[in-house]
Amino acid sequence: MWWVHYELTLLSLIVKRRGLRLLLPLVMLLILGRFTTGIAFGACSVGIPLYNAEIVADSIRGRVGVFFDLLLCFGILWAYVWGALTSLHALNTACAAVSIVFFACFYWMPESPVYLMLKNRPGEAEESLRWLRGPRFDVENELLRLHRIIEEGKNLSPRSGDDMNTFWKQMKRFQLKSPTGKAMIITMGLMTFQRFSGVSALIYYSVDIFRNAGTKISPSLATIIVGAVQIVASLLSSLLIDKLGRRFLLLTSEITMAVCQFVLVFYFVFKNQGYDMQDYSWVPIVSVCTIVAIFRVGIGPIPWFMMAELMPLEAKVWSSSFLMFYSWSCLFIVSKGFIDLVDLVGSAPTYGLLGLICLLGTVFVTFKVPETRNKSFETIQSELSIGYQPL
pTM: 0.76
Q: Is the dihedral of CA 300, 306, 308, 312 positive or negative?
A: negative
Quick one: DSSP state of residue 56?
Answer: S
Give me the residue spans of the domains in the chain.
Answer: 6-109+173-385
Q: How far is CA 91 from CA 69, 82, 154, in A?
A: 21, 5, 47
> With bands split at pLDDT 50, 70 and 90, how would you rate the model's confidence at 1?
very low
pLDDT at 149 (0 to 100): 75
> For position 247, what pLDDT does the model report?
93
Supply the pLDDT for residue 158: 47
Domain 6-109+173-385 is in which class? mainly alpha
Say if CB 23 and CB 54 are below 8 A apart. Answer: no
DSSP letter string, 153-167: HHHHS---S-HHHHH
Nearest CA-CA partner of 370 in 358, 382, 355, 356: 382
Lowest mean pLDDT among 161-165, 172-176, 237-241, 279-283: 161-165
Contacts of 174 by beta carbon, 8 Å cutoff, 6+ apart: 180, 181, 315
> What is the reported pLDDT for 367?
92
